[in-house]
Amino acid sequence: MDDSDQVEVKIYVALPERLKEGKYTLSWVLNQFSSDSIKIIITHVHIPSKTIPISNVSMLSFSPQQVNSYRKEEREKAEKHLNDYISQCTKAKFKAEKLMLVSDDVAHGLVELISVHGISNLIMGAASDRRYSKGMTEVKSKTAKIVMEKADPSCQISFICKGNLVCTREPLPRNLNQSASMPTEIKRQNVIPRRSSFNPNLHGGMMSRFPPRSPIRPSHMHSDTDNYSIDFSEGTSRSEAASSIASEDISSNSDLLSMNRDDDFEVRSLHEPRLDSQGSTHEQGTMVDVCANLQADRTKYRAQLIEEICKREKAEMDLVSLIQKGEETKSAYIKEKQEMEFLHKQEIEMVQRQLDFLQEEYKQLQEERENAAKEEVLHKQQIEMIQSQLDLLQEEYEKMQEERDNAVKETKIVQSQLDLLQVENKRLQKERDNAVKEADELRGSAGRRSPLAFSDFFLLELEQATENFSNSHKIGEGGFGSVYKGFLRNTMVAIKILHPQSLQGKPEFEQEVAVLSRMRHPNLVTLIGICSEKSALIYEYLPNGSLEDRLACQGDTPPLTWQVRTRIIGEICRALLFLHSNSNPIVHGDLKPENILLDANLVSKLSDFGISRLLMESNTNTLVYRTEYPRGTFAYMDPEFLSSGELTVKSDVYSFGITILRLLTGKSPINIAADVEDAIETDSLHLIIDKSAGDWPFVQAEQLAKLGLRCAQVRRRKRPDLENEWKLVESLMQTASLSVSPSFKSQLDEKGIPPYFMCPIFQEVMKDPHVAADGYTYEAEAIKGWLDSGHGTSPMTNLPLPHQELTPNYALRSAIQEWLLMHP
């Protein structure tokens, strides 16, 4: 056949909805054929859902519109998935279409597709890919078996599994026994041989058979004096055609066969020369012409007869198809009618239930309305009672107003007396300062843990310093009470007022006074004094708030750098070593970033000793404090303290470990140890380090992480002694000090002097520290010389100073003198 006469061959490929489930079958087809004259029909049987997955309720519970809408969405989704197959075919340069049938069963749907669309070649899966084996020679799936048994016998079906041809069901061959009843010329027809399998190398990948299946129809006919030849389309079953001709027109065929025999005899006789009694040859020539005409007429009539037989068979097949479609339409109508009746019944029941529910609601509303009317009457009575009470209160208010006027007069008298007391207080303050100096000089002989002197303030002084405890002065609040900022005796201080109704306030107040009155340390908050009238504690004021606030960047403050965080770790470690070094160690018991305060130079100081405990030696020769009610912050509390109620110095070590990990990562303390441990094991520590602190040196970060994990061990006996870890912490502090700004480079000098003891101007240990308007502390002589020389800006920030007043920092001076006594 010429290229111009080539027919586009359609290959029907039955595939599941998703590409990943049918990719091997499609791949086999794309590899077996050439795209020159092949068109792939993606065939899919869609099974509608019986339930809606969201509610898992049967379709019968919904209205027909809802069911149709959902099924329409299902079909659209299925068609979108089939487009993936079309894309694969397009990439392989194949023409492709999709054909989808909606049915309740895949196998019967495919059988129906083969019958309705006259499919003569189908390719489908033999089994699921996971059931494939190299020795597989027969179909495994139930669907494939049903299609093999029930599909039209004239359809050739190839079964594929995991990209391999398992087997092929050949079309039903022609029944040769019927050939005896066929005319001689039909048995001698030129039949195109049928191939039993695909040959991708023939005609550039074309199949050797044309796929369209149709009733017997001649593609072309011709006649001559010797024979009669018919060519059939390859998709037509010639055995069916011969059988149809023999069965439907047997009488015609018998006459035609008899005619063939007679005509053949006459033709042979006429071709032999015969002479009559007169030897005339003219008559012989005339007879030959007559026979030739008869032969031509016979051939013509036979062609017309076969054409009529073909038309009749096609009409009968069309009639059968119409009857079948009518039956299917009738069945579908009956089924749909039954479904609609059932749905209608369901809707009626649902409406009835809704009506019952609305009736119940209506009854309830009626009852509520009656109750509301009764309550309205009661409200009116209550309003009348309240009005009478308001009248009484008005009279009492007028009396109180008179009493208030009298109190104002008395207040003026008290104010004048207060002014006199303030003058006397200043005189006493000077005497106290002199006494403090003398006590500091004599303290060396008493030892560092002897009780320290602190002031006892009047409530009136605190009210003046805080404008009667105004909210504008409040800087913190918690379960213990409130903290206010105030200017007291020429010094900026923080005043903690304990709640009077707190059951634990008084013991915590006494405990904190007992601890802080016996010790001084650069990294412990300095207790300046107390107010017994108000149960108030007066501390040195630390302007940068708590470490927790700085980690959260509260108030849009910049994040703490990794150098500052490393230094803070070292300072807290040093403070804990100081507390634990007593013969009877002191355990803080509530170490956390909220209780670590920062001064103007970001130097850390441990505060809030309300639940701290003095450890005594137990019967087991261990320093321990036992309680039935463990207290503290859960995320930072020693797990063994929670379970056993035994508080030891290792409890502070656990809290210190969690604080280290917080400074390193900036994460929540909940499960922080497990997160850091996983990061170290998976070499992903760099992913959880707090990037806002700057570029941590990896070695330094890893050492801090491991130190924090050692301290935060669940078992107390596995936690290290801080004395053994101090050298590591000290080296990390020195490494960090090499990278900080000049104001922090003097983290530790050769003698280990804390940097906040150093005057920023003289770079010497301060003897008389004073606070300037910029918040920094300087040696009095240095800052006075700076101001007297005409400078109106800060020596540290170079910003204008709002005023040139200086305030003595007695707390820092006391701490410096205490430190000098310990480091002669």
Q: Please list the residues that pair with 246 across neighbouring strands.
A: none
**Interior CA angle at 141 toward 135 and 144, to 5°?**
105
Inform me whether the pLDDT recorded for 416 exceeds 90: no
For residue 630, CA distances in Å to 41, 715, 766 come to 76, 17, 42
Inform me whether the pLDDT recorded for 762 exceeds 60: yes
Sorted by sequence, the CB contacts under 8 Å of residue 291 that are 6+ apart come out as: 266, 267, 270
For residue 519, CA distances in Å to 416, 523, 578, 594 come to 39, 11, 10, 21
* 496 among annotated binding-site residues: yes
Q: Mean per-residue pLDDT for 689-693?
A: 93
590 among known catalytic residues: yes
Structure tokens at 405: 């006027």
* Same domain? 629 vs 760: no
Q: Per this entry, what is the length of the chain?
A: 824
Give the neighbor-by-neighbor strand order of the sheet with 777-779.
777-779, 769-771, 807-808
Inform me whether the pLDDT recorded for 279 exceeds 90: no
Sorted by sequence, the CB contacts under 8 Å of residue 755 that are 6+ apart come out as: 601, 603, 744, 746, 747, 748
* Same domain? 719 vs 781: no
Residue 413, exposed/middle/buried by CB under 10 A (0-12, 13-18, 19+)? Answer: exposed
Last residue of a domain, one of 697, 730, 748: 748
How confident is residue 551, by pLDDT bands cut at 50, 70 and 90?
Answer: very high
Inform me whether the pLDDT recorded for 706 exceeds 90: yes
* Same domain? 728 vs 770: no
Inform me whether the pLDDT recorded for 451 exceeds 70: no
* Same domain? 738 vs 782: no
Q: Do the beta carbons of residue 236 and residue 213 sit within 8 Å?
A: yes
What is the separation of C-alpha 647 from the centre of its chain, rounded to a whole number of angstroms?
42
> Can you give the pLDDT at residue 196?
35
* Same domain? 732 vs 761: no
Q: Is residue 758 part of a domain?
A: yes
120-134, 306-320, 441-455, 672-686: range with lowest mean pLDDT: 441-455
- Where would I find the H helices in 151-281? 184-187, 238-248, 250-271
* Same domain? 768 vs 716: no
Helix (H) or strand (E) holding 254: helix 250-271
> Can you give the pLDDT at residue 396?
85
613-617, 676-680, 731-735: range with lowest mean pLDDT: 613-617
What is the separation of C-alpha 197 from the centre of its chain, rounded to a whole number of angstroms?
52
The more confident residue out of 275 and 604 is 604
625-654 residue pLDDT tens: 777 677 788 889 999 888 888 888 899 999
Give the rounded percent of residues in the chain with a pLDDT score beyond 70.
76
How far apart CA 108 and CA 150 sit, in angstroms, is 8
Inform me whether the pLDDT recorded for 230 exceeds 50: no
* Same domain? 801 vs 768: yes
427-443 residue pLDDT tens: 666 655 655 554 454 44
Last residue of a domain, one of 136, 169, 202: 169
How far apart CA 590 and CA 632 sit, in angstroms, is 5
Inform me whether the pLDDT recorded for 401 exceeds 70: yes
What is the separation of C-alpha 438 from the centre of its chain, rounded to a whole number of angstroms?
68
How far apart CA 167 and CA 141 sit, in angstroms, is 13
Q: Is residue 156 part of a domain?
A: yes
Q: Mean per-residue pLDDT for 689-707?
A: 91
Q: Is residue 466 part of a domain?
A: no
Q: Find where tokens 């006996």 sit.
A: 717
- Domain of 619, CATH number, reads 1.10.510.10
> Can you give the pLDDT at residue 819?
77
Q: Is residue 316 part of a domain?
A: no
Inform me whether the pLDDT recorded for 543 exceeds 60: yes
Q: What is the DSSP letter of 634?
A: G
Q: Please list the residues that pair with 4 across neighbouring strands.
A: none
Last residue of a domain, one of 134, 169, 204: 169
Q: What is the DSSP letter of 276?
A: -
How far apart CA 523 and CA 754 sit, in angstroms, is 9
* Same domain? 805 vs 666: no
* Same domain? 743 vs 781: no
How far apart CA 321 and CA 243 sit, in angstroms, is 20
Max mean pLDDT among 6-10, 313-317, 683-687 falls in 683-687
Number of independent structural domains in the chain? 3
Q: Mean per-residue pLDDT for 647-671?
A: 93
Q: Is residue 795 part of a domain?
A: yes
Catalytic residue among 440, 590, 608, 638: 590
How far apart CA 41 and CA 86 sit, in angstroms, is 9
478-532 residue pLDDT tens: 767 789 999 887 778 999 988 766 645 677 777 778 777 777 788 998 888 888 8
Q: Is residue 142 part of a domain?
A: yes
For residue 46, CA distances in Å to 13, 29, 78, 139 come to 15, 22, 8, 22
Nearest to 161 by CA among 139, 185, 186, 190: 139
- Domain of 814, CATH number, reads 3.30.40.10
How confident is residue 140, by pLDDT bands cut at 50, 70 and 90?
Answer: confident
How confident is residue 197, by pLDDT bands cut at 50, 70 and 90?
Answer: very low
Based on its alpha-carbon atoms, the radius of gyration of the chain, rounded to whole angstroms, reads 53
240-273 residue pLDDT tens: 433 333 333 434 343 433 444 444 433 333 344 4
How far apart CA 185 and CA 260 sit, in angstroms, is 9
Q: Is residue 554 part of a domain?
A: yes
- Domain of 40, CATH number, reads 3.40.50.620
What does 754-796 look like in DSSP terms, one character per residue?
-GGGB-TTT-SB-SSEEE-TTS-EEEHHHHHHHHHTT--B-TT
What does 694-761 look like in DSSP terms, one character per residue?
----HHHHHHHHHHHHHHT-SSGGGSPPHHHHHHHHHHHHHHHHTTS-GGGTTSS-TT---GGGB-TT
Inform me whether the pLDDT recorded for 215 exceeds 70: no
> Can you give the pLDDT at residue 740?
43
Helix (H) or strand (E) holding 396: helix 282-446
How far apart CA 454 and CA 531 sit, in angstroms, is 11
Structural domain harbouring 773: 752-824
* Same domain? 688 vs 595: yes
How far apart CA 41 and CA 96 sit, in angstroms, is 6
How confident is residue 804, by pLDDT bands cut at 50, 70 and 90?
Answer: confident
The more confident residue out of 717 and 251 is 717
Q: Is residue 382 part of a domain?
A: no
Task: Read off the amino acid at residue 209.
Answer: R
60-91 residue pLDDT tens: 666 778 788 888 888 888 888 899 999 989 99
40-49, 470-479, 740-749: range with lowest mean pLDDT: 740-749
How far apart CA 661 and CA 668 sit, in angstroms, is 10
Q: Do the beta carbons of residue 453 and residue 436 sit within 8 Å?
A: yes
Give the rounded percent of residues in the chain with a pLDDT score beyond 90.
19
The more confident residue out of 8 and 441 is 8
Inform me whether the pLDDT recorded for 33 exceeds 70: yes
> Can you give the pLDDT at residue 389?
86
Q: Do the beta carbons of residue 786 and residue 774 sit within 8 Å?
A: no
> Can you give the pLDDT at residue 394?
87
Q: Mean per-residue pLDDT for 459-488?
A: 86
Residue 432, exposed/middle/buried by CB under 10 A (0-12, 13-18, 19+)? Answer: middle
> For the chain, what is the mean pLDDT?
77
Structure tokens at 19: 């590409």
Q: Mean per-residue pLDDT for 13-39?
A: 87
* Same domain? 743 vs 767: no
* Same domain? 718 vs 758: no
> Helix (H, G, I), strand (E, B), or coil: what is residue 688?
helix
